[in-house]
A and B are shown apart, each in its own frame.
Chain A
Amino acid sequence: MICSTGFRTLLRKELLRFWKVGFQTVAAPVVTSALYLLIFSHVLEEHIQVYAAVSYSAFLVPGLAIMSVLQNAFANSSSSLIQSKVTGNIVFVLLAPIGHAELYAAYVLAAVVRGLMVGLALLAIASVWIDLAWAAPHWILVFAVLGAAILGTLGIIAGIWAEKFDELAAFQNFLILPLTFLSGVFYSIHSLPPFWRDLSHYNPVFYMIDGFRYGFLGVSDVSPALSLAVVSGCLLVLAAATLQLLRTGYKLRA
């Protein structure tokens, strides 16, 4: 059933939806992240060294890349759902014989694709002037896909829960943004005071970033196996919760 025409059509529709406004959904976040990279690497390159023999720019690039992946994956599924709900065209999906697992998979896969496109584009731009190491590419792919899937899933939850754009913005700005910014994108958690370092271990986004960065640098704050376990566990829990929301029709079917 998961490969049904209905699922494939919904996935294609979701891909077309963001691709038709590619300047807004892909190009703009790439440019924003590239500017972050340009400014932070220029200003801090000589002042910070997180790991021995690793320049700050080389440390920063994976963090910014996975942050872009995560934020855009969340933005894709959440904005698609809230727009469909507010304009009412969600009814076309709800009237169709598409199961809740297919709905979930289509929205998450589209979110993953958009996240990976933005992340890849940023890496391509960064590699022009920064020498990137690719220590363990399979970890890069694994954490990018799992991280995007988690944030795509959170986007579905936010899109279902929010009844107006203001509520979605609250979800994004008071939950997603702090979790991503306070997870080691710009620093190693070992540079933090003990309390904040310990607290960071309860932030699942930290494990996505740390594991993703390990794929480039070959070093990380915690082992990639631990990161993989935490990230996989988070995805399973969130996926189960989202499937339950879709199955019961919470805030979608009256």
Chain B
Amino acid sequence: MPAAIEVQSLAKSFGRVRALDAIDLTVDAGEFFGLLGPNGAGKTTLISALAGLVRPDSGTARILGHDVVSDYRQARRLLGVVPQELVFDPFFTVRETLRIQSGYFGLRRNEDWIDALLHHLDLTAKADANMRSLSGGMKRRVLVAQALVHRPPVVVLDEPTAGVDVELRRELWEFIQSLNRDGHTIVLTTHYLEEAQNLCTRIAMLKAGRIVALDSTANLLGRLEAHRLRLKLGAGACLPAGFAGKASREPDGFLSIDLKGVDELAALLTGLREAGAAIEDIELGRPDLERVFVKVMRSA
């Protein structure tokens, strides 16, 4: 089976800005893949190139083996894209919007799936409402429904949860995860790194149009050898020698220290006990993607 997405030496410049710098990337069918990077890293340009919204200067991109330029009709049928911008057609209702989008993809009788999408995205009550009357979160959900209306095997979500409240965000991810379990390939860009950590099995990090990290989420998290210890000491207490230089004070008064392992934690606690330092509060955090992201971006 061909890769869901296969990008080879893809390059695109806007004037002097090199938005994509000879990107190579393969996303296998069935993956839940994360595309992360700071603003201007090239995530949206890459997605736009896959969707045919941007014409690459060089290189190729394929969706399930179909070239997005020379075989664009089939490539687009296989791809659903949730755009980042909150765009809508003010002339139509939610249901009309989804019927029109179905028709664009060659589907004339799609009411059952449209009803299912409206249900899953909690839009049933708004089916006959004009798009202009919807809140930002609802418009975002309609964008998701539009991307899924032709049941594409590859779904790209460009910041799909921006402006969506917590409960609906959770419901949206449950729905997207169920699509992934059914075999859909999901590619996600998000600034909520916790979402990416929880959902994505593999992640690519982009900076200045280049991929600076590409690995499984577990391996990326493993790049951080440290567990982060946060502790609040009693008045007058100090960290033992050897630890003071590694700590940073946080706004809430806690000291934050990265520890390489259990032995180092034990040494710290022993040192504190021997010095008679009182510990008022203590938290031990697991490695998180945000710290990996910051580390990768700083080193790239």
Question: Known: A89-B87, A91-B83. Contact between A253 and B104, CB under 8 A?
Answer: no
Closest Cβ of chain B: how far from A226's Cβ, in Å?
A: 41
A249 at the interface (CB under 8 A from B): yes
Closest Cβ of chain A: how far from B15's Cβ, in Å?
A: 11
**In the complex, are the beta carbons of B73 and A97 less than 8 A apart?**
yes
Residue from the list B53, B54, B72, B104 in contact with A6, Cβ < 8 A: B104
B260 at the interface (CB under 8 A from A): no
Residue from the list A5, A17, A93 in contact with B91, Cβ < 8 A: A17
B100 at the interface (CB under 8 A from A): yes
Interface flags, A133-145, vs B, CB<8A=1, else 0: 0000000000000
A20 at the interface (CB under 8 A from B): yes
B46 at the interface (CB under 8 A from A): no
Question: Known: A16-B91, A97-B72, A97-B76. Contact between A92 and B104, CB under 8 A?
Answer: yes
CA distance A179 to B105 in the complex (A): 39
CA distance A93 to B106 in the complex (A): 13
CA distance A9 to B81 in the complex (A): 19
Which of chain A's residues has its CB closest to B85's CB?
A88
**In the complex, are the beta carbons of A9 and B100 less than 8 A apart?**
yes
Q: Which of B53, B72, B103 has the most CB of A within 10 A?
A: B103
**In the complex, are the beta carbons of B91 and A20 less than 8 A apart?**
yes
Chain B residues near A13 (CB, 8 Å)? 92, 100, 103
Question: Known: A95-B76, A96-B105. Contact between A254 and B91, CB under 8 A?
Answer: no
**In the complex, are the beta carbons of A92 and B146 less than 8 A apart?**
yes
B246 at the interface (CB under 8 A from A): no
CA distance A17 to B105 in the complex (A): 19
Residue from the list A8, A84, A95 in contact with B52, Cβ < 8 A: A95
**In the complex, are the beta carbons of B101 and A254 less than 8 A apart?**
no
Chain B, interface size category, equals 20 to 34
Chain A residues near B72 (CB, 8 Å)? 97
Q: What is the total number of residues of chain A having a CB less than 8 Å from a CB of chain B?
A: 28
A87 at the interface (CB under 8 A from B): yes
CA distance A13 to B48 in the complex (A): 24
Residue from the list A94, A97, A99 in contact with B105, Cβ < 8 A: A97
Number of A-B contacts (CB under 8 A): 82
Residue from the list B79, B83, B106 in contact with A5, Cβ < 8 A: B106
CA distance A4 to B79 in the complex (A): 19
**In the complex, are the beta carbons of A254 and B55 less than 8 A apart?**
yes
Closest Cβ of chain A: how far from B75's Cβ, in Å?
A: 8
Closest Cβ of chain A: how far from B57's Cβ, in Å?
A: 11
**In the complex, are the beta carbons of B105 and A6 less than 8 A apart?**
yes
Which of chain A's residues has its CB closest to B80's CB?
A95
Contact residues, A66-105 vs B (CB, 8 A): 84, 87-89, 91-99
**In the complex, are the beta carbons of A92 and B103 less than 8 A apart?**
no
A197 at the interface (CB under 8 A from B): no
Chain B residues near A164 (CB, 8 Å)? none
Closest Cβ of chain A: how far from B71's Cβ, in Å?
A: 10
**In the complex, are the beta carbons of A6 and B106 less than 8 A apart?**
yes
Chain B residues near A87 (CB, 8 Å)? 87-90
CA distance A16 to B108 in the complex (A): 17
**In the complex, are the beta carbons of B73 and A99 less than 8 A apart?**
yes
CA distance A92 to B106 in the complex (A): 14
Contact residues, A2-58 vs B (CB, 8 A): 4-6, 8-10, 12-13, 16-17, 20-21
CA distance A10 to B100 in the complex (A): 8
Chain A residues near B104 (CB, 8 Å)? 6, 9-10, 92-93, 96-98
A-B contact pairs, 20 of them (CB 8 A): A5-B103, A5-B107, A6-B104, A6-B105, A8-B103, A10-B104, A12-B100, A13-B103, A17-B91, A88-B83, A88-B87, A89-B87, A89-B88, A92-B87, A92-B101, A92-B146, A97-B73, A97-B76, A98-B104, A254-B48
User: Which 3 A/B pairs are nearest by Cβ-Cβ distance?
Assistant: A9-B103, A96-B104, A88-B87
Q: State the B residues within 8 Å of A (CB).
A: 14, 48, 51-55, 72-74, 76-77, 79, 81, 83, 85, 87-92, 96, 100-108, 146
Q: A91-B53, A91-B83 are in contact. List 6 more A-B contacts (CB 8 A).
A: A4-B106, A13-B92, A17-B91, A88-B83, A92-B104, A97-B104
